[in-house]
Structure 1
Amino acid sequence: MSQEIKAAITAVGGYVPDTILDNFQLEKLVDTSDEWIVARTGIKERRILADKQKATSDMAAAAITELLAEYSVKAEEIDCVLLATSTPDKLLAPTAPIVCTKAGLRNAWGLDINAACSGFLYALSVGAAFIESRRFKKVLVVGADTMSRIVDYTDRNTCILFGDGAGAVLLEPSSNYGLHDFIFKTDGTGNDFLSIPAGGSLQPVGDISLHENLHYVKQDGRTVFKNAISGMTSSCDELLMKNGFDADAIDWIIPHQANLRIINAVADNLKVPMSKVKVNIQRYGNTTAATIPLCLWDFKNDFKQGDRIFLTAFGAGFTYGSSYLTWGN
């Protein structure tokens, strides 16, 4: 009888652009203030991909390149790249193959996955299934978004929230550690509360949509806020119950970095101290699919072998859920 195989995170990488857009700069663009933004979101600054000749594929490739170099992984050994993004370089062709080429992954194939802010978690589960099937030995899961290209910088309700960045993890087989379980949910009734109305097959970009800025992110903040807290809390609770332990047995929670008040509320609901919750939203803002892997990248030295880690996210769709893994390889 063959031994059970799990998909362990054996390497992490990240990339954020050099250009910083802080709250004081936003004060010059819209009617807002640093004090207002920090109090309501926890965000102090965000990174912006200022070079208009570059796009999501460049950030994803940079995160992969950093990972390969840091962990001495050979590019030709990578079997597959799963790219979670809501901001592909183009609607067609997919971005993952471009990433493979730019990162020099000549033996890998690539697939785009769009589940908005939950995309990295969904892609992680797909990558884990590939590893568990024993079909592949090295799978890269990347979350990358260039949100600055789809944000209306005259809309103070959305432009303060988002930034650009990319994070990547390498999944490999392990007999001891890795992804144990996940709970994912979707609720299509939330579609209109966080979306880009124009640009797809339902409403292609045209004169009217351009005039009304319908090709930018639109959000009903109050509804999203309420549902994010509920969705992230309930999926963590369900995952805890399914796996038979209490929240105090969790070593770390890495939540999607959308709003510090959401993060605080989820931790409070779960009765987990903020000392166990990883937060970097103050530096990067909401980088959508990149927030969780960027947290893994930023705080990788804090994780010890065997640590129980919960990842949880909520995004447009609505999409939401939580994953449970143990750290180590």
Structure 2
Amino acid sequence: MNRAAVICGLGGALPETLVSNADLARELDTSDEWIRSRTGIENRRVIAPGQATSDLAVAAGSRALASAGAAADDVDLVVLATSTPDHPCPATAPAVAQRLGMPGAAAFDVAAVCTGFVYALAAAAAMLTAGTVRQALVIGADTFSTILDPADRTTRAVFGDGAGAVVLRPGDPAEPGALLGFDLGSDGAGSDLITVRAGGSRQRSAGGDAPAEDHWFAMQGRAVFAEAVLSMSKSAQHLIDRIGWAGRGPDRVVAHQANLRILRAVGEQLGLSEEQITVHLDQVGNTVAASIPLALADAQNKGTLTPGQRVLLTGFGGGLTWGSTALIWPSLHLAPAPAHI
């Protein structure tokens, strides 16, 4: 029998601390109007001192398990998409699994920056459909506030911290919630467009101290904008054609929440109305690997995602990487809003 990976649970978590555009304007040479006009972002949330990516991942994972009605010992795989792990070594996923009551589960991290959640879904789905595992918990979690230059108004305006998660179970390819396919890709020639230059083996093996700015996240905004629109649009269209949605397309696109202008441009490329493009970044900023599952949870809570809709997910991130997947939206049980920790 053909098997598919089916989304059966969904949850999110955000830090309690809210940073508004007005808060940033009091610290930096910026303004609410400048930030909104360029990004569409009004607020973002950041972790408190002493908190880490795993804290958000555990909270989101717990809510996804509750949404699915799944016990911890039913899950034997945890895949964590993150570019801000608790430590450079080891991976953060095993600690998340242990804290969720799954100490024997297979667990690993996926580092594909803002495409991480789609890559993690693809990895977990492959293991489920192969019969390697029974159920999987896929989490996207990032705390980019820990790698941003405090004096950089551009990156601090864009990024926020958060986590989102889904539970996957094996099921029938024709049922709602089944992931219908993937389109994944990368282009290492653009690896310098989104990067933290210092801290890895290349910089350390060279010896000496790296410039202070190399320890912070850096992004070439204009080039990234163009690449993001092109890559997400092409990936989404390739998948639409492959799964037989050509001619009718998706009812709703939940894209990586990078920038409002990028979201609108992707929608235009796919021939969709603004109402068909999910927007969540206005309240949380770019939460990197968490952005797609957090946007799903927000849309589910608001009722803009309804059972039976054709939903396409697409992301673009550092590497460069991109990826898309699609599903018929299922009926899910979900708590009223993402947890605040």
TM-score (norm 2): 0.91
CA distance in 2, matches of 1:225, 1:242: 26
Contact 2:117 2:290 in 1 (8 A): yes
Separation in structure 2 between the aligned mates of residue 248 and residue 204 of structure 1, nearest angstrom: 51
1:213 alignment partner, SS class: helix
Give 1:29 shift.
1.9
109, 117, 122: which one aligns with 1:120: 117
Structure 1 residue aligned with 2:337: none
CA displacement, residues 212-235 of structure 1 (integer Å, 9 cap, x when unaligned) = 221111111000011001101111
Q: Aligned partners of 1:174 and 1:70: how far apart in 2?
A: 17
Tell me whether 247-256 or 260-269 shows the greater mean CA deviation: 247-256
Equivalence for 2:42: 44
Alignment of 1:51-66 (within 5 A): 52-66=49-63
Matches within 5 A, 1:307-326: 307-326=309-328
Q: Distance in 1 between matches of 2:40 and 2:25?
A: 16
The residue identity in structure 2 corresponding to 1:218 is A
Match of 1:170 in 2: 167
CA contact (8 A) 1:8 1:328 kept: no
Q: Deviations over 1:92-119 (max 9, x none)?
A: 1110011011222234221100011000
Q: What is the CA distance between 1:76 and its match in structure 2?
A: 1.3
The number of equivalent residue pairs is 325
Letter in 1 for 2:32: D
Q: What does residue 12 of structure 2 align with?
A: 14
Aligned to 1:187: 187
Indicate the larger mover: 110-119 or 238-247. Answer: 238-247
CA shift at 1:249, angstroms? 3.2
User: Does the 8 A contact of 1:253 with 1:310 survive in 2?
Assistant: yes
Within 5 Å, give how 1:1-329 maps onto structure 2: 3-50=1-48, 52-175=49-172, 176-177=174-175, 178-204=178-204, 208-209=209-210, 211-246=211-246, 248-301=248-301, 302=303, 303-328=305-330
Unaligned runs of 5+ in 1: none
> 1:13-71 deviations in whole A, cap 9, x for unaligned?
11000100111111122211100100110000101001x22201111001111222344
Distance 1:134 1:271, change over 3 A: same
Aligned equivalent of 2:338 = none
Cα separation, 2, equivalents of 1:80 and 1:65? 14
Please report how far the alpha carbon of residue 174 of structure 1 lies from its aligned counterpart in structure 2 after TM superposition: 1.5
Determine helix, strand or coil for the equivalent of 2:64. Answer: helix
Q: Is the 8 A contact 2:254 2:295 kept in 1?
A: yes
Equivalent-residue separation in structure 1 for 2:250 and 2:29 (angstroms): 41
Q: Which letter maps to 1:6?
A: A
Comparing 233-242 and 159-168, the one that deviates more: 233-242
- Give, in angstroms, the shift of residue 271 of structure 1: 0.9
CA distance in 2, matches of 1:185, 1:72: 34
Unaligned residue ranges in structure 2 (runs of 5+): 332-341
Find the aligned partners of 2:296 and 2:247 in 1 and give their Cα distance: 20
Q: Does structure 2 conserve the Cα–Cα contact (< 8 Å) formed by 1:82 and 1:112?
A: yes
**How far has the Cα of 1:181 moved from its partner?**
1.0
Relative to the length of structure 1, the TM-score reads 0.95
The whole-number CA distance in structure 2 between the counterparts of 1:97 and 1:58 is 13
Larger mean CA deviation between 311-320 and 292-301 belongs to: 292-301
CA distance in 1, matches of 2:136, 2:51: 25
Q: Which moved more, 1:279-288 or 1:153-162?
A: 153-162
Cα distance in structure 2, aligned partners of 1:41 and 1:84: 24
Aligned equivalents of 1:39 and 1:248: distance in 2? 32
Q: Is residue 257–residue 285 contact of structure 1 (8 Å, CA) maintained in 2?
A: yes
* Cα RMSD (Å): 1.6
3-state DSSP class of the match of 1:160?
A: helix
- The answer as to whether partners of 1:143 and 1:168 remain within 8 angstroms in 2 is yes
**1:325 offset after TM fit, Å?**
1.8
